[in-house]
A and B are shown apart, each in its own frame.
Chain A
Amino acid sequence: MKKLNRRNFLKLAAGGSSALAAGLGFSQGALAGSIKLQEGGRDFSPTTKKALQAIPTACWQCVTRDAMMGYVEDGRLVKLEGHPDSIRTLGKLCAKGQAGVNHVYFPDRILYPMLRVGKRGEHKWKRVSWDEALDLMASKLKPLLDAGTPELFMYQYGRHKGSQSSIMHDFMDAFGSHTIGTHTSVCEGPKWVGQESLWGGMYDNWDYDHTDFVVNFGSNQFETHTNHIPTSQRLIRAMVDRNVPLYTFDVRLSNTAAKSTEWIPINVGMDGLVMLSMVNVIMNENLFRKDHLKYMRVSPDYHASDDEKIAAIKEHVAKFTPEFAEKESGVPADKIKQIARGYAKAKSACLIGYRGTVMHYHGADQERAAMLLSAITNNLDRKGGRVMGVGAGWKTPHSPKAKIQKGLDIVNGFPGEAAFPTHQVSQQNLPMIKDGQNGRPKVYWSSCNNQAFINGNNKEAEAVLKDESLIPFYVNSNIVYDESSQYADLILPDVTYLERWDTEDMVSPTGIAEFYIRQPLIKPLGESRDQGEIFAGLAKRLGIELAYTTKEEYVRQACEMTPGVREAGGFEYMKKHGVWHDKNAKPNFGFYEAKVDVSGDGVILDEKTGVYWNYKKAGVSEAEARSKGYLGVEGAKDAYVAQNIEGTPRKAYPPNTSFVKSGLLDFYSDNFAAKGFPPFPTYTPIPEHQKMGKDDLHLTTYKVAVHTHSRTAHCKWLSEIKHDNPAWINSKTAADRGIKDGDRIKVASDIGEITTTAHVTEGIIPGIIAISHHFGRQHSGIYGSGKSSPTPGGATADPDAKNMWWDKHGIHPNSIIPNSSDPISGGQRWMDTVVRVAKA
């Protein structure tokens, strides 16, 4: 017979189809049931071979919060893996995520409410009942309510997202306190502030599924990004499947740099300058695209023509030639030109930046330079480019708010410290409490936040927490005894994220929102209790009415209230499936071009800015609106309707944050100018770096792939992989100081000194030293610190503890890094510290 080819294959298929369609198949099939193929989502016991109970839930190791599956056998959580139906993660889960199991069963876990009985820091505790704990808290909080001083109750949180955040804000509103401290300024606050000044919103993602070219400044995308699993796999796929080049600028050969097409070593704090020199090349070689110009404001004139804008941009960046950038940054001018040309000529391109770029003096302005580079090449909010992230918009229940609403002014930094602290200045919360000028809370409750570890000058933070005259009553919700909880008056045993309910909403890399939930995989161990339940218990004691009684009920209500989720089946659907997205939704590319109806009652055009706004919504008369104009009326930004773009009202970029702006991308920013900052993205040398002596080095910090900043040291699988953090130092820099690989070295700054080990390598530029910031734990259980906690926790013995082969636990660099804020955003300047390094 003939050899089968494509043509006669189809003929044969037609024959097969005909025979089968005529009901001529065998009398009875051998196989019954239906195919239920799925990539993941099922697992089997290695001993009994039985299917494990598979429960959809969500990770919480890092802010990426991947949807995932938990597997339970006989009531014990045995395994975690990616959720196969998640459009964000595509079924993947990182090492940290998989080690989440360790949170539940580590031997030093806090499982009962603990009351301090010795002095703070003396580590003497007494187990108390929940009733005693809540009664005690209520006895401290009730007088604040009665006195009309709810602001003296401060809630300090680290990782609270989704419903963990909304339920907390709901409770604080019901209590009446706005004294709520966060942690974003030690994370990436300057990035968001830079974006908000332009976009009117924040959180960039990148359309790696369609991009043709990627340039990365200071982001360890493949190891530790805030949207790690969803984005890194897509970038890798772009590189492997479509040969998309990735150029990484970094002071250190991170694993991202190592996997890049090329690692371009760059001097500390020079990312923005190199970006501006790329703008210089693109503008002067006429490689820019005009498409986005009409949405950009690059001079005081709101109505400048394209030609005027082009001239203004050229003028702004004229001095940032590649040759000038080479002198400062160490990046060869020809390399800058090459990458600038490749970036501009690519059909689409992504520009990534993260902590390496923004955690500096004027870090927010460096982010503005990144946005500029994206905009002039029409790679902003376009397919294949840098796009504003889209997350799930959950509706949540709301409790009645207290009549008195007040807050202490201690979360936005010292007076004059930061011009736009839209993400607070949390590293200064405890120093401000110590200072006392703006008041001190009487009750300080921290949750999932280790202030004495995560901030700069963390020893000072520790001292404040220890001082009862500064913080009279300190409550700490935690699963582990750590640097902060050791000073608490009351420790509340938190549930792990694997034992609680939540709605979740992290940004999707596809531009299509994914709604997902977290649900308990097992019953909470010991007497651990969810914050939501604690709020309910306190509310009952304080006479506060809440819209829920349990966290589960809160999540149930959210599922039934949220359009889309509700129609899909609400809470029961989400319990069963874990994830939901609108299959008809389209990515939000080009959202700013949407035409807007401006015929509504009260909508007028502000001639100066080109903004259509609703004066009635702003609460002023038409006469006042017209005389004062959009920028002159307080609250007018909240009445923004559209931007006049060449005669057509379009959505543009609404001012959705505290920045008062038009709908244009404010590359020329009146907000910045008014506060004395450069109104256009520029290069501002870092003051400390200008005064460096010849023996001084830069200190930078970084993250490794298998740890979060402060919440994973007790995870044994992760600490086995990484538990020490020798300091990276270039071989030439080391040789100049007589330092060899493995030598003990002293690293000293103006506020302190640490001793560590040298890791001499060519994988870092000369003139700096880099130390990861996860290690050097005082506490955090046997696996994190080598010390068991002085609390009657869960299991007294973990057989694996005997197998712990490592005795090194690293050193924490934060004790020699001062709390120093970017004056624009209030972001902690992790990367600006100057140190002296010598052989110990």
Chain B
Amino acid sequence: MGINWKELANNAKSRSDIYGLMSTVFREEPSGDLIRDMRSPHLSEIFADLGVELGERFYTDLESKVMEELAIEYTRLFIGPGPHISAHESIFSEMDGDMSGLWGVKTVEVKKFIETTGLDYGKDFTGLPDHISVELEFMQKLTEWEADMWHQQYRKRAEYCLTVQGKFLDQHLFCWVDQFCDAVVHQAEIPFYRAMAELTKQYMAFERQSVATDTAA
């Protein structure tokens, strides 16, 4: 049977879009546009169907109020001051001595991995290289490139991209994303980030299965 290039391209693009959404959610405080769209009938229906519960007030409160509350919750959860979830791989990786912590060995590994693929960190990006949103954005870009390769019928390049994705997931994202999501679920005080963390964890489980299948094929 011949290769269904279009289906493979669409599949990769779908993955890219989901990674993009998750990266957006964890990168910074939600914008008004994001909240508006997530409250739209289209997305709210999808979330309802999936059992993603963002809380009644997310849909009923004034947009400005939701935005303000989520900004406070984002800061409390991920920035501090005080106890918070440092959303960086190096914090979640168990290593001896000075190897973990901010800008640890894992941070350097992630940075090198990303740069080896031709990408750079934007000059205006002030975060750390192994932030959860960066790793998700990296996957977004890889899957987007993969989709492009399928679209152009470059099978070898697309398959190689899948191999790279598998490596990054195995060596990095899969190693800590569950712990991170569990921490968010545990510490979140309003439903939005709890739901997004659950969704992310579910999606990574789905990825674990599908990428393993793709790269084995």
Residues of A within 8 A of B (CB): 1-5, 8-20, 22-39, 90-91
- State in angstroms the CA–CA spacing of A29 and B122 once bound together: 7
Q: A11-B50, A19-B34, A20-B17 are in contact. Are A90 and B202 (CB under 8 A)?
A: no
Whether B161 contacts A31 by the Cβ 8 Å rule is: no
* Residues of A contacting B131 in the complex (Cβ-Cβ under 8 angstroms): 30
Q: What are the residues of chain B within 8 A of A12 when measuring CB–CB?
A: 18, 46, 50, 199, 203
Asked if B202 and A3 make an inter-chain contact with CB atoms under 8 angstroms apart, the answer reads yes
Which residues from chain B contact A90 at a C-beta distance below 8 Å? 156
Question: What are the 8 closest A-B residue pairs judged by CB atoms, nearest first?
Answer: A36-B118, A13-B14, A16-B17, A1-B51, A16-B21, A17-B17, A35-B145, A32-B122
Known: A15-B42, A36-B118. A31 touches B50 (CB 8 A): no
- Which residues B143-202 have CB closer than 8 A to chain A? 144-145, 156-157, 160-161, 164, 195, 198-199, 202
The reply to whether A35 and B117 form a contact with Cβ atoms under 8 Å apart is: yes
The answer to whether the Cβ of B119 comes within 8 Å of any Cβ in the partner chain is yes
> Would you call B49 and A8 a contact (CB within 8 A)?
yes
B90 interface contact, C-beta 8 A: no
Residue of A20, A35, A91 near B20 (CB, 8 A) is: A20
Specify which of B18, B118, B160, B198 is in contact with A1 (CB 8 Å cutoff).
B198
Contact of B120 among A11, A17, A18, A31 (CB under 8 A): A31
**Are A26 and B23 in contact (CB-based, < 8 A)?**
yes
Find out whether the CB atom of A31 lies under 8 angstroms from the CB atom of B202: no
Other A-B pairs beyond A1-B195, A24-B33, A39-B156, 8, CB < 8 Å: A1-B198, A15-B42, A15-B47, A18-B42, A27-B28, A31-B122, A32-B121, A37-B142
The contact string, 1 if C-beta is below 8 Å from chain A, for chain B 23-55, is 110011001011001100011001101111100
Give the A-binding residues of B (Cβ under 8 A): 13-15, 17-24, 27-28, 31, 33-34, 37-38, 42-43, 46-47, 49-53, 114, 117-125, 127, 131, 133-134, 137-138, 141-142, 144-145, 156-157, 160-161, 164, 195, 198-199, 202-203, 205-206
User: When the two chains form the complex, which single residue of B53, B123, B206 contacts A9, counting CB atoms closer than 8 Å?
Assistant: B206
B37–A19 touching, CB < 8 Å: yes
Which residues of chain A are near B31, meaning CB under 8 Å? 24, 26-27
- Max chain B CB contacts within 10 Å: which of A4, A14, A27, A31? A31
Q: How far is the CB of A586 from chain B (nearest CB, A)?
A: 14
What's the dominant secondary structure at chain B's contact region?
helix
- How many residue pairs link A and B with beta carbons under 8 A? The number is 151
The 8 Å CB contact of A31, one of B18, B141, B157, B199, is: B141
In-complex Cβ contact of A37 among B123, B124, B157 (8 A): B157
Per DSSP, are chain A's interface residues mostly helix, strand or loop, or mixed? loop
- CB pair A31–B21 under 8 Å, yes or no, is no
Q: Knowing A19-B24, A30-B27, say if A11 contacts B49 (CB, 8 Å).
A: yes
CA distance A11 to B45 in the complex (A): 10
Determine how close the nearest CB of chain B comes to the CB of A574; give it in whole angstroms: 20
Given A4-B202, A90-B156, residue A35 in contact with residue B141 (CB < 8 A) = yes
In the complex, what residues of A have CB within 8 A of residue B118's CB? 33-37
Task: Provide the residues of chain B in CB contact with A27, threshold 8 Å.
Answer: 28, 31
A24 to B118: give the CA distance in the assembly, Å: 25
- Nearest CB of chain A from residue B123's CB, rounded to whole Å: 7
| A10 vs B7: C-alpha distance when bound (angstroms) | 12
Minimum CB distance partner of B131 in chain A:
A30
**A14's contact among B46, B120, B141, by CB below 8 Å, is which?**
B46
- Expressed in whole angstroms, the minimum distance between the Cβ of A725 and any Cβ of chain B is 38
23 residue pairs A–B, Cβ–Cβ below 8 Å: A1-B52, A3-B205, A8-B49, A12-B199, A12-B203, A13-B18, A15-B47, A16-B17, A16-B18, A22-B33, A24-B33, A26-B31, A27-B28, A29-B122, A29-B125, A30-B122, A30-B131, A30-B133, A32-B121, A33-B118, A35-B142, A37-B117, A37-B164
Inside 8 A of B125's CB, which chain A residues have their CB?
A: 28-32
Complex formed: what's the CA distance from A540 to B24 in Å? 70
Q: Which residues of A contact B156 (CB under 8 A)?
A: 39, 90-91
Considering only CB atoms, which chain B residue lies closest to A3 in the complex? B202
A residues within 8 A CB of B21?
A: 15-16, 19-20
Indicate if the CB atoms of B202 and A34 lie closer than 8 Å: no
Q: In the complex, A2 Cα to B142 Cα: how many Å? A: 27
Bound-state Cα–Cα, A18 to B14, Å: 11
B195 x A16 contact (CB < 8 A):
no
Determine the distance from Cα of A39 to Cα of B117 in the docked complex, in whole angstroms: 10
Q: Are A4 and B20 in contact (CB under 8 A)?
A: no
Complex contact A31–B138 (CB within 8 A): yes
Question: Which residues of B lie under 8 Å from residue A22 when comparing CB positions?
Answer: 33, 37
**A residues less than 8 Å from B51 (CB atoms):** 1-2
* Nearest neighbor of A1 in chain B, beta-carbon distance: B51
Query: Chain A residues near B123 (CB, 8 Å)?
Result: 32
A9–B14 CB distance below 8 A? yes
Chain B neighbourhood of A11, CB < 8 A: 46, 49-50
Instruction: Please determine whether B50 and A2 come into contact, CB atoms closer than 8 angstroms.
Output: yes
B18 to chain A, nearest CB (A): 4
Give Cα A419–Cα B144 distance, bound, in whole angstroms: 62
Residues of A within 8 A of B34 (CB): 19, 24
Taking CB atoms, residues of chain B closer than 8 Å to A23 are: 33
Q: Which residues of B contact A34 (CB under 8 A)?
A: 118-119, 145
Closest to A2 in B: B51
**Closest CB-CB distance, B163 to chain A, in whole Å?**
8
Whole-angstrom CA separation of A25 from B27 in the bound complex: 10
* Shortest distance between the CB of B186 and any CB in chain A (Å): 16
Give the residue among A13, A16, A90 with the most B Cβ atoms within 10 A.
A16
Q: CA separation between A9 and B205, bound complex, in Å?
A: 12
Known contacts A13-B15, A22-B37, A33-B118: A38-B202 contact under CB 8 Å: no
Which residues of the other chain, B, contact A29 by a CB distance below 8 angstroms? 122, 125, 137
Chain B contacts for A4, CB-based, 8 A: 50, 202-203, 205-206
